[in-house]
Each structure stands twice: as C-alpha cells, then as structure tokens.
Structure 1
C-alpha cells in the first residue's frame, strides 16, 4: 500500500499542476512558486506532515515537498534562534539544491538552447 499511496499523492500533485497550466494563464514558473509556497504554508499549519507520513516520497519529491523541507528545517532551527532558523532551512534542502545546480550546469554545457519566438 505504501507504493500505491506514494503514486496516488504524487500523481494528484502533478495533476493539479497540469490543470493549473492548462486552464489558467499562469506560467510554469508561477505554478512552481505556488507549489513551493503552498508546501511551506501547509507545513507551517502542520497539514503537510500527515501527507508525508501517508505518501512518503510521493509527497516529498514534488515541489510542495521542497517548500515542506524549507519550512520544516526553519521551524526546527527556530527553536535555537533566528540564525539557526535560516541555516536549518538551508541544511535540510542543501542536497536537492546542489543536485539541481550540478545537473543544470551539465545540461547547459552539453546542449545548445533554442530561442522561442
């Protein structure tokens, strides 16, 4: 059942994103920001953790999971002071940010982007 819930929740998150892109005038970057902010807000309201407990990576891998990780790290770090709140958020998301930067750089070196006109 773990795989089922992982697939179900992750799929629902992706469907929400696709529906937003197809039915509104929102651009992809705006949808991405909405997802990250919604994950952080839901974690701040303590609503995202039950979803993570149910779906595991199905809830943490999509973009709301990044917002969740930022908020969770900041909330845990805030117990030790303001500076720890900032470093807690960075520490909990450092691996994901590093991988995104490295692979983005590799792709930029290997491929020549086309302009869209």
Structure 2
C-alpha cells in the first residue's frame, strides 16, 4: 500500500492547528478559575465546565474528517483516518487526562510557595 509522503505532514499540521483551539478553551477557563481557587480545584472546575464543549466539538470534527474515508481515493482515506483518530485521541486523552495532569504538576499554589519560603 503506497501513501504519499505528504499525508503525515498534512495530518500533523491539521492536528496541531485543531488541537490548539481545545487548549485555548481549557486554559482560559482554568485561568479564570485560578483567580478564586487553588490549582487542583481550578483544574477540576475548568475540565467540568469545558468538557462538554470540547467533547462535542471533537466528535463533530472527527466525524467530519471521517467522511473522507468514504472516498475511493486512497490518500483521502488515509488522511481522513489519521486526522479523525488523532482528533479523538486529542479530545479525550490529551485534553481530558494529560493537560489537566500537566497543569497540576507544573502550576504551583501561590500560598504553598510563600508558606514554604517562610519556613
């Protein structure tokens, strides 16, 4: 089975460009909640409030690209499959699990930092 060497490049560009939107939604909500809550609580609220929007948008977008799999052209089938599966992985694994975990791991509570310095 021969596939054009441009398919991985185009797939990568599409997945990165489409995944950025979900990051913006999640992180902007987290920053809003971060003003009032500690990190873990802010992440929980952000994921709860944006989960439905991100999930539904991801499913619709994946279904849109999956339509390319119905075409008889092999390159379109492969491109549609890669992008549809990538969007689903991005929607449910990256935005639902990995991003919240990374935020909690990297972001520090401002109270915790000042208390540890005082001791």
The alignment's TM-score, normalised by the length of structure 2, stands at 0.33
Indicate the structure whose relative CO is greater, using CA pairs within 8 Å and at least 6 residues apart: 2
**TM-score, reference length from structure 1:** 0.34
